[in-house]
Structure formats: structure tokens, C-alpha cells
A = this chain, B = another copy of it.
């Protein structure tokens, strides 16, 4: 199914969730402190995150990942009575939380919901175009495309949400990083480069569509 990164400093919790989650068909990654969590996060499809952690709190981890991997769904494990934290967590962008002590079956159910919501895939294909996020490779008609890091990220971001319109601002935030100081016309320039490499025409695009006054979108099939 999916790769689940499980972060808790309590071995008992790790163990019980490991059993339930692997029974569900997931591959498990495990970490017992914030640093390890960050190191492994890039490989995960879902993150189950305890709030109280050595080295870095679950919060910090969530906050950092929010920027690095905004699409990574996070299920937070909180102790009862940490309502304040829970609220902040939700506002921070965590997708969901469970209160300890929890039933493992509930965690499994929530993970299922998170995954269903995201429709995660490791292999994107749109007609002639093929993307492999993991390997950071792109093919056009079977031929490998030579894309710069930025170009790949930009294309991937758009392609992972076909049809969805992205403002330049949101793209800057997502692809360039939230603190990017430059002007938003960079996006246009890279769009031109991408279109050139994809053989796409701005007037009549197959893949990268301009939404005037709003931003860009990856064209939906059909």
C-alpha cells in the first residue's frame, strides 16, 4: 500500500502500530526522535507523529515538513488534555490527530482516510509524458527529458494535481520555498523553458496551460 513513517519514542507504541499497519499492507519506516523523523520523511507517504519527542518536538517536525513537503499527510498523536496543541497542529497543516490512548484500529482507519484523500502515486503518465517522482526522471514519448531541478519540481507540482490552478505565488511558495524574495515572473520564464522542452505551445498547450489573471495549471486529460 503506502510507506508509513511512524515516529514515537515509546517502543510499545511503535510495536503495536507496526503490527496493525503492516497487517494493513503498509511498508513501515520508524523513527524515535525528531531528527530521525526529518531524515526519513522524504521517503514517506504518510507520517504518524508523536508530539512529545526527543531532539525536536513533533511540532517542529511538522512545521519544517510543512514547508518541505506540503503534501505529506500528517497524523498527530497527542496526549489527552493537549487541546491547545491539537488546535495549533491543525492550523499548522497537520491533517488529523488522534488522542492517546488510542485504539490501533482507529489509527489504521485514519491512515486509510488520509491516503484515500491524497490519491498517491509514484508514476504519472499523461499521454506522451511520463514522470517518475522518486527517480526524478521525465520521459516524453519514451525519450528521457533533460530537466533542471527547478523545472522538474515545477512540472511535478503541477502534474500531481491535474486541472488545479496554481497562482504564481503558490508556485513560488511550493517550488522555490516560502521565503523566496524574487519576483513572480520567474515562474513565467521557467514555464517557457518547460514548454519548449515538452514541445508545448503556449497558445494551444497539451500540458501546461495558462489561466490568465490567475496562474497556471496542468491540463487535465480529455
Chain A interface residues toward B at CB < 8 A: 83, 86-87, 90-91, 95-96, 103, 105-106, 109-110, 112-113, 117, 132, 134-137, 148-150, 163-165, 211-214, 217, 220
Contact = CB atoms under 8 A, between A and B. Distances in A.
15 contacts: A83-B103, A83-B105, A83-B106, A86-B106, A87-B105, A90-B109, A90-B110, A91-B109, A117-B117, A132-B163, A135-B220, A136-B165, A136-B217, A148-B212, A149-B212
A165 to B, nearest CB: 5
Contacts of A213: 148-150
Contacts of A86: 106, 109
Contacts of A91: 109, 112
A200 B13 CA distance: 56
A134 B165 contact: yes
Contacts of A112: 90-91
Contacts of A211: 136, 149
Contact of A106 (B87, B105, B148): B87
Given A90-B109, A149-B213, A213-B149, A134 B164 contact: yes
Give the number of times this chain occurs in the complex, counting copies.
Answer: 2
A135 B164 contact: yes
Contacts of A117: 117
A137 B90 CA distance: 30
Contacts of A135: 163-165, 217, 220
A214 B136 contact: yes
Contacts of A105: 83, 87
Contact of A163 (B103, B137, B212, B214): B137
A167 to B, nearest CB: 11
A85 B146 CA distance: 45
Contacts of A150: 213
